[in-house]
């Protein structure tokens, strides 16, 4: 395709932005919201991959570029997999359990956009991290 | 298109490819596919990350985890542990040599902390073989802005205001060069990209061309618009096969996208670029020799003036700029001259890419703002001297520069202060030497290089460097006398004064500067029975060319 104007160029830029978006570095640590999905064997067998994919798709649809979805290992709550931890800057991390892909929408809408954690999915964390 | 959830960036520059990064890529792709993740995880070949010492580099995004020294056999562990299960592979993380603890984030490494990547902004970030990734990173916007929203004079003014100076070593203001070429009255003008990088140990231009070829193409088009050229040439040495193949791909994609060719951005501006291969002669980095070589003649320099801006390629006004200079242009146009001029020192603006080599811990490619000190580069970014040995000297400016010692380490890096301490910026090669290196041998090494590379056109350089080399050989084989040292010194200044081009004028520099800083090392190997006190002098047989 021949690019003949700045508008056409910018349109291509928009279309392909998704492709390099994952790599945008220059942000300071902690500036963005992080969603950690437990992807150990237990998580995957309970559907963590589908959950993960649902997060990625919904965030990209909503153009929420400052939220990163990251795979992590097992946190030990194998009875409640898939587990998802939401870390918003300046707030205490919230750990959710049993996050099937159908529940992704609710977490994004209520917690990440609205700032209100989805109480009924929260796992009580009784461990300290360093 | 499925949404990718993860990008695995892997360096496919020449350095990492020499350490089998191609096999790593193949293995990663195969294993990711076998695990059924091919639709979620993309393996992206990128340009150089700069940390060549630790190559091959694999970076996983968005997790921001940086793996080093990844061999083909490590691919399975990265996929099974990190990609599938989200567990970091600790043993492949970079370990801070001082504290010996693993670091996973690029930003936390000493090597990257002090760097500011402007010319290398896309190296290690985009796939150089995909024009759309370059566009997604903001590419070709500068060209559009220049063609549609700026006049030719405005483009030149912007570059002049930025204070950008030639990165090939000369340091001539780029905006001024463009202005001079624009002012020439001629129907036909040319713009040439000098990619004939010949300094031993330098690979800045190669890495830019391999990692971000489109930035150079875009900048050449902007330059051509400013000076009024419709034809560009990239003169590149045939020893850079990977850079050539990436450039060829990039040129093809740019033509298909209408960013080269007729009526670019639907304006009256036509422009296209040819690649010319050089045979790798050092002297062809000199612009008049380069133009001669482009024309199919012998790569020999001409007397200047006329400068290429007046009479260059086939007698037409020609603007020759270096690869790194070009790589800075698109950012200056999009972000503005003010932004660029805010980086660096008073007379040297922006950043400079250096290739760190020699006895230093972190060998690689670094880009720093002008004005940092050599000490920061060697001990900060470079991680100090290998094996904990003592620093002795650093050679900047390649064979044309000189050595700098401990006492000059706090000199700021810019064009003028490096000249003031007796070396030069050059194109950006930095070779670090430690206490085990013999400086007379180092001088001999550089002289052997310039002697080989002398084109033979003018006598002082052709014969002079040969004679100097012979004298050095005599001295290093412990047969030299004080008269030989004196002859070497006289000859050095004679070649400096009498040569036609920069190659000859700077060829004796390594000898002169090692004599200045390491006179004792010369004296240690002189066995002069007749003049034990060192008072021997060389008396020429005739006085031609001598100031008596």
B146 and B175 together in one domain: yes
B141 and B215 together in one domain: yes
- Residue pair B222/B333 in contact by the 8 Å Cβ criterion: yes
Of A36, A32, A47, A43, the residue nearest A94 (C-alpha) = A36
Integer-rounded Cα Rg, in Å, for chain B is: 25
- Residue pair A97/A85 in contact by the 8 Å Cβ criterion: no
pLDDT tens digits for B134-179?
999 999 999 999 999 999 999 999 999 999 999 988 889 999 999 9
Query: What secondary structure does DSSP assign to chain A, as a single string?
Result: ----SHHHHHHHHHHHHHHHHTT---SPTTSSEEEEEE-SHHHHHTTHHHHHHHHHHHHHHTT-TTEEEEEE---S-GGGPSPEEEE-TTS--EEE-S--GGGHHHIIIIIIIT----GGGBPPP-----
Q: Does a structural domain hold residue B53?
A: yes
Q: Does a structural domain hold residue A104?
A: yes
Q: Does a structural domain hold residue A117?
A: yes
Q: Does a structural domain hold residue A8?
A: no
pLDDT computed for residue B301 by the predictor: 92
B166 and B278 together in one domain: yes
Q: Does a structural domain hold residue B97?
A: yes
Q: Pick from A5, A21, A23 the residue to mutate for testing the B interface (most B CBs within 10 Å).
A: A23
Q: Does a structural domain hold residue A60?
A: yes
Q: Pick from A1, A2, A64, A87 the residue to mutate for testing the B interface (most B CBs within 10 Å).
A: A2
Please name the residues between 5 and 24 in chain A that touch chain B, using a CB distance below 8 Å: 5-6, 9-10, 12-13, 15-20, 22-23
**Domain count within chain A:** 1
The residue to which tokens 């970076």 are assigned:
B59
Interface contact flag, A6 B257, Cβ < 8 Å: no
pLDDT computed for residue B199 by the predictor: 86
The structure's pTM equals: 0.88
- Residue pair B192/B117 in contact by the 8 Å Cβ criterion: no
Q: What is the ipTM of this complex?
A: 0.80
pLDDT computed for residue A26 by the predictor: 47
Q: Pick from B135, B268, B331 the residue to mutate for testing the A interface (most A CBs within 10 Å).
A: B135
pLDDT computed for residue B482 by the predictor: 87
Question: Nearest-CA residue of chain B relative to A6?
Answer: B144
Query: Burial, B491: exposed, middle or buried (Cβ in 10 Å; 0-12, 13-18, 19+)?
Result: buried
pLDDT computed for residue B405 by the predictor: 93
Q: Does a structural domain hold residue B541?
A: no
**CATH at residue B21:** 3.40.30.10
Q: Which among B83, B148, B258 has the least Cβ separation from residue A6?
A: B148
Beta strands in B376-466 (DSSP E): 391-396, 402-405, 429-434
Residue B47 and residue B83: Cα distance in Å, rounded? 22
Q: Does a structural domain hold residue A17?
A: no
Interface contact flag, A13 B125, Cβ < 8 Å: no
Question: How big is the A-B interface in CB pairs under 8 Å?
Answer: 109
Q: Which two tokens stand for residue B421?
A: 């301490």
Chain A partners of B140 at a C-beta cutoff of 8 Å?
A: 3, 9
pLDDT computed for residue B510 by the predictor: 93
Give the gap in angstroms from C-alpha B347 to the nearest C-alpha of chain A.
28
> Residue B107 carries which DSSP code?
G
Chain A partners of B87 at a C-beta cutoff of 8 Å?
A: 40, 72-73
Give the gap in angstroms from C-alpha B9 to the nearest C-alpha of chain A.
9
B379 and B237 together in one domain: no
Chain B partners of A72 at a C-beta cutoff of 8 Å?
A: 86-87
B152 and B96 together in one domain: no
Chain A partners of B9 at a C-beta cutoff of 8 Å?
A: 23
- State the SS3 of B449-486: HHHHHCCCCCHHHHHHHHHHHHHHHHHHCCCCCHHHHH
Query: Burial, B170: exposed, middle or buried (Cβ in 10 Å; 0-12, 13-18, 19+)?
Result: middle
Q: Does a structural domain hold residue A78?
A: yes
pLDDT computed for residue A16 by the predictor: 84
Interface contact flag, A9 B106, Cβ < 8 Å: no
Question: Domain range spanning residue A103?
Answer: 30-121
The greatest distance separating any two alpha carbons of chain B, rounded to the nearest whole angstrom, comes to 84
pLDDT computed for residue B40 by the predictor: 85
Q: Pick from A45, A51, A71, A73 the residue to mutate for testing the B interface (most B CBs within 10 Å).
A: A71
B393 and B356 together in one domain: yes
A70 strand-pairing partners: A36
**CATH at residue B234:** 3.40.50.11540
Q: How far is CA B217 from CA B65, B136, B256, B259, B324, in A?
A: 32, 16, 14, 9, 12
Of B145, B256, B251, the residue nearest A2 (C-alpha) = B256
Domain final residue pick, B80, B113, B146: B113
B214 and B311 together in one domain: yes
A98 and chain B in contact, CB less than 8 A: no
Q: Does a structural domain hold residue B126?
A: no
Which residues, other chains included, contact B57 with Cβ-Cβ below 8 Å and sequence gap of 6+?
Answer: B10, B11, B16, B49, B51, B66, B67, B68, B70, B124
Residue B402 and residue B424: Cα distance in Å, rounded? 7
Interface contact flag, A3 B106, Cβ < 8 Å: no
Chain B partners of A1 at a C-beta cutoff of 8 Å?
A: 256-258
Question: Nearest-CA residue of chain B relative to A19?
Answer: B133
B168 and B299 together in one domain: yes
**CATH at residue B464:** 1.20.1440.230
pLDDT computed for residue B73 by the predictor: 94
Domain final residue pick, B279, B309, B341: B341
B77 and chain A in contact, CB less than 8 A: no
Q: Does a structural domain hold residue A22?
A: no
Of B461, B459, B464, the residue nearest B504 (C-alpha) = B461
Upstream peptide bond of B207 is cis (omega within 30 degrees of 0): no
B49 and B94 together in one domain: yes
Query: What secondary structure does DSSP assign to A91-116, as a single string?
Result: S--EEE-S--GGGHHHIIIIIIIT--
Interface contact flag, B136 A20, Cβ < 8 Å: yes
Question: Nearest-CA residue of chain B relative to A59?
Answer: B3
Residues in chain A with pLDDT values less than 50: 26-29
Residue A72 and residue A51: Cα distance in Å, rounded? 13
Which residues, other chains included, contact B40 with Cβ-Cβ below 8 Å and sequence gap of 6+?
Answer: A49, A53, B2, B3, B4, B5, B6
Interface contact flag, B62 A20, Cβ < 8 Å: no
Chain B partners of A23 at a C-beta cutoff of 8 Å?
A: 7, 9, 61-62, 125
pLDDT computed for residue B246 by the predictor: 95
Interface contact flag, B84 A2, Cβ < 8 Å: no
Q: Does a structural domain hold residue B363?
A: yes
Beta strands in B291-418 (DSSP E): 318-322, 351-358, 364-369, 391-396, 402-405
**CATH at residue A85:** 3.40.30.10
Question: Domain range spanning residue B392?
Answer: 351-434
Give the gap in angstroms from C-alpha B322 to the nearest C-alpha of chain A.
27
B298 and B404 together in one domain: no
B152 and B287 together in one domain: yes
B259 and chain A in contact, CB less than 8 A: yes
Interface contact flag, A19 B136, Cβ < 8 Å: yes
Q: Does a structural domain hold residue A20?
A: no
Residues in chain B with pLDDT values less than 50: 1, 548
B403 and B444 together in one domain: no
Cα-based angle B104, B126, B141 (whole degrees, multiple of 5): 130
Residue A127 and residue B2: Cα distance in Å, rounded? 37
**Domain count within chain B:** 4
Please name the residues between 21 and 80 in chain A that touch chain B, using a CB distance below 8 Å: 22-23, 25, 29, 37-41, 44, 49, 52-53, 56-57, 60, 68-74
Q: Does a structural domain hold residue B278?
A: yes
3-state secondary structure of B279: coil
């Amino acid at each position: 395709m021949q690019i003949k104007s700045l508008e056409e160029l910018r349109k291509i830029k928009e279309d392909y932005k998704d492709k390099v978006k994952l790599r945008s570095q220059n942000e300071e640590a902690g500036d963005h919201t992080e969603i950690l999905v437990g992807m150990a064997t237990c998580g995957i067998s309970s559907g963590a991959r589908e959950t993960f994919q649902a997060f990625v798709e919904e965030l990209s649809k909503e153009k929420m570029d400052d939220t990163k979805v990251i795979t992590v290992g097992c946190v030990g709550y194998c009875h409640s997999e898939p587990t998802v931890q939401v870390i918003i800057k300046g707030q205490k991390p919230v750990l959710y359990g049993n996050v099937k892909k159908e529940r992704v929408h609710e977490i994004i809408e209520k917690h990440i956009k609205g700032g209100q954690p989805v109480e009924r999915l929260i796992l009580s964390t009784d461990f300290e991290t360093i | 298109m499925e949404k990718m959830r993860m990008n695995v960036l892997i360096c496919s520059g020449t350095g990492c490819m020499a350490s089998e990064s191609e096999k790593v890529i193949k293995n990663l792709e195969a294993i990711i596919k076998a695990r059924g993740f091919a639709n979620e995880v993309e393996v992206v070949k990128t340009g150089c990350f700069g940390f060549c010492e630790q190559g091959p580099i694999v970076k996983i995004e968005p997790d921001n985890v940086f793996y080093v020294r990844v061999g083909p056999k490590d691919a399975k562990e990265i996929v099974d542990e990190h990609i599938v299960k989200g567990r970091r592979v600790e043993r492949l993380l970079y370990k801070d040599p001082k504290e010996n603890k693993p670091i996973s984030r690029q930003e936390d490494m000493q090597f990257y902390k002090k760097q500011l990547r402007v010319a290398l902004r896309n190296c290690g970030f985009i796939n150089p073989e995909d024009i759309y990734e370059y566009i997604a990173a903001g590419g070709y916007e500068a060209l559009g802005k220049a063609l549609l929203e700026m006049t030719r004079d405005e483009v030149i003014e912007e570059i002049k205001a930025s204070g950008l100076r030639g990165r090939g070593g000369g340091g001539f203001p780029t905006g001024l060069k463009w202005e001079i070429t624009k002012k020439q009255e001629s129907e036909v003008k040319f713009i040439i990209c000098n990619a004939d990088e010949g300094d031993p140990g330098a690979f800045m231009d190669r890495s830019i061309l391999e990692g971000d070829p489109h930035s150079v193409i875009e900048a050449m088009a902007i330059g051509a618009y400013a000076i009024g050229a419709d034809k560009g040439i990239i003169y590149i040495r045939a020893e850079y096969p990977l850079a050539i193949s990436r450039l060829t791909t990039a040129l093809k994609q740019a033509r298909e996208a209408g960013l080269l060719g007729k009526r670019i951005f639907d304006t009256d501006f036509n422009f296209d670029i040819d690649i010319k291969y050089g045979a790798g002669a050092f002297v062809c980095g000199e612009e008049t020799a380069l133009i001669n070589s482009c024309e199919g003649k012998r790569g020999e320099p001409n007397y200047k003036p006329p400068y290429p801006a007046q009479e260059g390629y086939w007698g037409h006004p020609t603007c020759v700029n270096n690869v790194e200079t070009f790589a800075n242009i698109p950012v200056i146009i999009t972000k503005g001259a003010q932004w660029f001029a805010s980086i660096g020192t008073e007379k040297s603006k922006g950043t400079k890419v250096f290739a760190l080599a020699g006895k230093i811990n972190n060998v690689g490619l670094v880009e720093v703002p002008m004005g940092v000190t050599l000490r920061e580069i060697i001990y900060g970014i470079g991680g100090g001297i290998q094996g904990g040995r003592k620093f002795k000297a650093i050679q900047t400016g390649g064979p044309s520069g000189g050595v700098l010692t401990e006492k000059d380490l706090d000199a700021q890096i810019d064009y003028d202060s490096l000249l003031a301490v007796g070396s030069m910026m050059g194109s950006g090669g930095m070779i670090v030497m430690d206490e085990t290196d013999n400086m007379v041998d180092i001088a001999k090494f550089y002289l052997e290089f310039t002697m080989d590379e002398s084109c033979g056109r003018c006598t002082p350089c052709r014969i002079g460097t040969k004679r100097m080399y012979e004298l050095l050989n005599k001295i290093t084989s412990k047969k030299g006398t004080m008269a030989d040292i004196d002859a070497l010194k006289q000859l050095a200044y004679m070649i400096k004064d009498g040569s036609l081009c920069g190659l000859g004028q700077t060829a004796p520099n390594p000898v002169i500067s090692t004599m200045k800083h390491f006179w004792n090392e010369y004296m240690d190997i002189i066995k002069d029975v007749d003049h034990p006190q060192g008072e021997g002098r060389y008396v020429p047989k005739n006085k031609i060319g001598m100031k008596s």
